């Protein structure tokens, strides 16, 4: 196993790595600075879009020339050719302390995303589902910081975390309707060193990978919730993970250069970099695009 830096951009809050199989490109975001990045598997041909607001997550649309971006107060369409933004939904304009956060697309083209309290202490967030017809649905509520949405390979289980609860949740998922029900604890999160659950992905073997932010660890859980392995990262503030590359066997890891609140720890010179882990012998699953 080898850990390397792919792009040393010092992202204030790097998040949401997304490998698109059709384009063979990696996307990721800087949540605080409001930017979307795209590069080849080895970090070349770098391009960036400024979306003018804090961004929690993104997803490509079916045509590949547009993306969904979950900005601070609403979901927008981003034209990747012109950079123009078009508003789609504003679910929480009545909650000025909230912003939209982590999100992913299920294998029927729906975008599931959550919101969070920016001070990270009030359970004012929700979990939403945006359907291809652009209708918006609330799936869960009373969440402090929404993070880590992903699915089991058979689409029957949806994983999700409220960062500060100390656990990862599992829901029964109906791929036909997009319903997420019967929330339960999937696995506990070790918070003894100040870490907390952040971004996640599921590999082709059905194991869940979680970034343990502020503790500098990546944790792999078996489908039964048991701990499988831990990878120590060179920075503490690792934020999210995604498999990509031509063979889907590179694990990309985002990190943050500056903590969002004073109570969180600083990091060394490699803070804010995009990392790539090779030699794991594990592959990911292609990420779907939004739309029918």
Q: pLDDT of 72-102, one tens digit each?
A: 989 999 999 999 999 999 999 888 899 999 9
Sheet of strand 274-278, all strands in order from the earlier edge strand to the far edge: 2-7, 274-278, 250-255, 238-244
Of residues 243 and 194, the one with the higher pLDDT is: 243
Residue 103 has pLDDT above 80, yes or no: yes
- Exposed, middle or buried by CB within 10 Å (0-12, 13-18, 19+), for 206? middle
- pLDDT confidence of residue 33: 96
Q: Out of 99-108, 139-148, 264-273, which region has the weakest mean confidence (pLDDT)?
A: 264-273
- Exposed, middle or buried by CB within 10 Å (0-12, 13-18, 19+), for 260? middle
Residue 17 has pLDDT above 90, yes or no: yes
Spot the catalytic one: 102, 117, 162, 198: 198
Report the chain's mean pLDDT, rounded to a whole number: 96
Q: pLDDT of 30-74, one tens digit each?
A: 999 999 999 999 999 999 999 999 999 999 999 999 999 999 989
Active site residue 198: yes
Confidence of residue 264 (pLDDT cuts 50, 70, 90): confident
247 is known to lie in a ligand binding site: no
Residue 285 has pLDDT above 90, yes or no: yes
CATH class of 2-278: mainly beta
In the chain, where are the structural domains located?
2-278
Give the closest residue to 6 by CA, choosing from 270, 280, 279: 270
15 is known to lie in a ligand binding site: yes
98 is known to lie in a ligand binding site: no
- pLDDT confidence of residue 173: 98
Residue 2 has pLDDT above 80, yes or no: yes
Residue 292 has pLDDT above 80, yes or no: no
HEC secondary structure over the chain: CEEEEEECCCCCCEEEEEEECCCCEEEEEECCCCEEEEECCCCCCCEEEECCCCEEEEEEECCCCEEEEEECCCEEEEECCCCCEEEEECCCCCCCCEEEEEEEECCCCCEEEEEEECCCCCCCEEEEEECCCCCEEEEEEEECEEEEEEECCCCCEEEEEEHHHCEEEEEEEECCCCEEEEEEEEEECCCCCCCEEEEEEECCCCCEEEEEECCCEEEEECCCCCEEEEEECCCCCEEEEEEECCCCCEEEEEECCCCCCCCCCCCCCCCCCEEEEECCCCCCCCCCCECC
């Amino acid at each position: 196993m080898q850990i390397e830096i792919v792009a040393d951009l010092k992202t204030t809050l790097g998040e949401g790595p997304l490998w698109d199989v059709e384009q063979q490109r990696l996307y990721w975001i800087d949540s605080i600075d409001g930017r979307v990045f795209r590069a080849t598997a080895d970090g070349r041909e770098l391009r960036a879009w400024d979306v003018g607001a804090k961004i929690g997550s993104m997803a490509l649309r079916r045509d590949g020339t547009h993306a969904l971006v979950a900005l601070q107060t609403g979901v927008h369409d981003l034209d990747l050719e012109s950079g123009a933004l078009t508003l789609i939904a504003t679910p929480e304009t009545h909650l000025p302390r909230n912003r939209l956060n982590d999100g992913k697309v299920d294998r029927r083209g729906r975008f599931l995303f959550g919101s969070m309290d920016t001070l990270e202490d009030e359970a004012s967030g929700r979990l939403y589902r945006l359907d291809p017809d652009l209708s918006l649905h609330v799936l869960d509520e009373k969440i402090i910081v929404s993070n880590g949405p992903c699915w089991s390979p058979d689409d029957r289980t949806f994983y999700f975390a409220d960062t500060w609860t100390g656990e990862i949740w599992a829901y029964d998922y109906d791929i036909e309707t997009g319903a997420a029900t019967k929330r339960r604890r999937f696995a506990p999160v070790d918070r003894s060193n100040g870490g907390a659950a952040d971004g996640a992905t599921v590999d082709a073997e059905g194991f869940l990978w979680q970034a343990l932010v502020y503790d500098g660890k990546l944790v792999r859980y078996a489908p039964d919730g048991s701990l499988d392995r831990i990878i120590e990262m060179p920075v503490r503030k690792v934020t999210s993970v995604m498999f990509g590359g031509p063979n889907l066997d590179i694990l990309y890891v985002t990190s943050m250069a500056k903590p969002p609140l004073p109570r969180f720890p600083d990091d060394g010179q490699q803070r804010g970099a995009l990392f790539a882990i090779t030699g794991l012998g594990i592959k990911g699953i292609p990420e779907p695009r939004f739309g029918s």
